[in-house]
Chains A and B, each alone.
Chain A
Amino acid sequence: MNLSKKSLLEPSYRFTAVLKAILVLASLFILWSVLALISSIYQPLSFRGVAALESRASTSLADSLFLEIIQSYFSIFSVSVLVIIFLAVILGFLWARQFSNGIFPFYENQRPFSVLIKRFFKFSSHKIIDLANFEVLKKFNDLGKQIYGPAVIQILNNASALISKGNDGFRMDTSKGITPVQISSNERLVKILPQLLKDFTINLLAPSSNDLFNSLQFQFTFQVDDLPEKLHHSELQFLASCGYDDWKEILEPIIRLEFNYLLTKKKNSGLEITSLKQPDLDADGENNQSGSQAHSFHGSTIPVVRSRITRNRKRGQYPLVASDLEFISEPESRLAAMEMLQPLINEFIENLERTTIQLFGFIPIKIIHYEIGK
């Protein structure tokens, strides 16, 4: 992986960082000078420091002045107060670290002091934290630790990173492991979602008595990346604790129940079953929608090819029961059956959409493909 250091630098902050560093050093020197001045004027600790220097006989005015300055700057009072201040700052850091770690535990490979320095000076991180390993990733997710920004993290291919933006909610890095995930100084990496289960397939029993077509196979995908911004937050909130596995566990029974509910509704109203109308065909057997029919479900287009046989049948009604299919052979029969089931599938998709909106407030999945199963 080629990752140049240059690409990770934040040039806009470079000047600020240098300025901050100069200010900190200058403040320290001023403080030290004030302490030296106090030491020189008030002599709070009467015994002199730097005894060795004092014992030397001063030969000139310059030497004498230099000795005086050194004595003031390195007097016991100045040095001991500086040490006290240094210890106070260190203690403050340790308390802050303890408190922060109690709320969002630090990842082991990250040093809190380094985080603090980077955050204070707005430095970029060059060191890449490698999470592109299943074992390490599982440990990271299970322990609930977090990587404080700024940081550069290499994640698994096809994985996504859930990043907390503090009070501004979450964001999802969708680079999917192609380029390392970069988190800025006010962000934290909360979780990595290995998208191995991003797509999942469910077999649903179709209303056919035909042995060939006894199931419908739907392939779903979680639509994390394509969600509108306003829904993103609640979506990611849910993902923050649930991985795709948990999500699938919730969604799969809903999909099955919704489909079965629709089938039962159709079955119990026999009139509806036999009166599902096929789209009108013109006199030449050509359909206005041409030879292929496209169904759109939240941006995904599902082409359903109309079979030649069914196109020529010119039937106005299509019963869902597959007894009619017995005379047609594979693969045309599959296409014909698919077309017969199209109204049912459309209704199912609409119902599923309505149900997921009712429950989730958004549509977490989309169908990317469906076909008749064997």
Chain B
Amino acid sequence: MRSSQKQRRDIHFVRFPFIILLITVSLLVFLNGRLVLALILIFSSLAILIISTGLFTHFFLPEIPPNIMRKILGKAITQGYTPRITVIRIKDGKIIDDQTFPSKFKPNCLVHIDSNSVVICFDQKTGYYILHSGIHHLPRSSSLCAIFPTTIQRLIFGPESEDSLSKSRSGEGLADFHVRVNAAKRTAMNASDGIVVYAKFECFYKIDIGHPNEGFLTFFKDILANNKNAASILPADYIQMYLLNLAIAQWRKICTLKTSGQLIDETPHKLDLDQAAKNGLKCLVYVSKVFLEES
């Protein structure tokens, strides 16, 4: 039996006698003409339940801030004897334990963000804001907009090897061939001598959470506001596409100045992406290999 199922069973096992006993005793006291005593009994029992929940939760998780604790207890009060506290767990830039979560609208829940993730939320009152690691409450007026990992990511754009540009291999389907070649040709560029070269970009990046987040937030505000699929969370690969475009723009400048031979001889190149740094991204891009179309 799974741990969560066992816990639910345990709760059910205790909850049922608690309610039955409380109702029975209160009713008997009431029938004996002690209405006030019956009411005191009911309210004090519920108060003990709430206080003990808060106290024990505090002992288990002392890092929970008081406002979150109030929300948990509020849920326990408003939802009666079965508080269903939804916790969205975000680990390494992804939502876990919740396969049915394409939508960014999941209000009035708790969000637990691990130390390797950062979340951008939108609140109808305060606008966009960033949530860092920890346990947060997502109020009814807020929604999740984007989730990103804060650890160093490694990306490779363009052909992995010469083989990536080769013609259709035996046994390879047409669709697979197009996927492979299109991915490899994303970095195609004309050198100054007119020859097309294909570069392999190796990109390492990290969201700079230690830095004041204004740059990062400003960068994403417009994008999030214009997100075509407004009901869903911004795809995590957005940053990848952004970095690829920046790298290609930089690579284009280099290619216009050098011949294909020079580009190959001077490999690896290091691309300077200042714009990414301004937008709160620590980034390092190398052009590790350059291939010719013929090869």
Contacts and interface: CB of A to CB of B under 8 A. Distances in A.
A99 B72 contact: yes
Given A92-B48, A95-B83, A264-B268, A100 B60 contact: yes
A273 B208 CA distance: 37
B286 A250 contact: no
Interface size class on chain B is: 35 or more
Interface string A332-366: 00000000000000000000000100111100000
Contacts of B152: 238, 250, 359-360
A91 B18 contact: yes
A85 interface: yes
A178 interface: no
B116 A167 contact: no
B34 A88 contact: no
23 contacts: A44-B28, A44-B29, A80-B25, A84-B22, A88-B46, A92-B53, A95-B83, A97-B56, A98-B8, A99-B57, A99-B72, A99-B87, A103-B89, A144-B91, A234-B210, A237-B116, A237-B133, A238-B151, A253-B154, A261-B270, A264-B266, A359-B282, A359-B284
A254 B116 contact: no
A115 interface: yes
A77 B25 contact: yes
Q: Is the interface of A mostly helix, strand, loop or mixed?
A: helix
Interface stretch (B9-17, B176-184, B190-198, B221-229): B9-17
Contact of A42 (B34, B48, B49, B282): B34
Nearest to A38: B37
Nearest to A355: B284
A242 B56 CA distance: 31
A133 interface: no
Contacts of B204: 250, 254, 359
A189 B135 CA distance: 18
A13 to B, nearest CB: 15
Contacts of A119: 59-60
Nearest to B36: A42
A194 interface: no
B162 interface: no
A296 B282 CA distance: 27
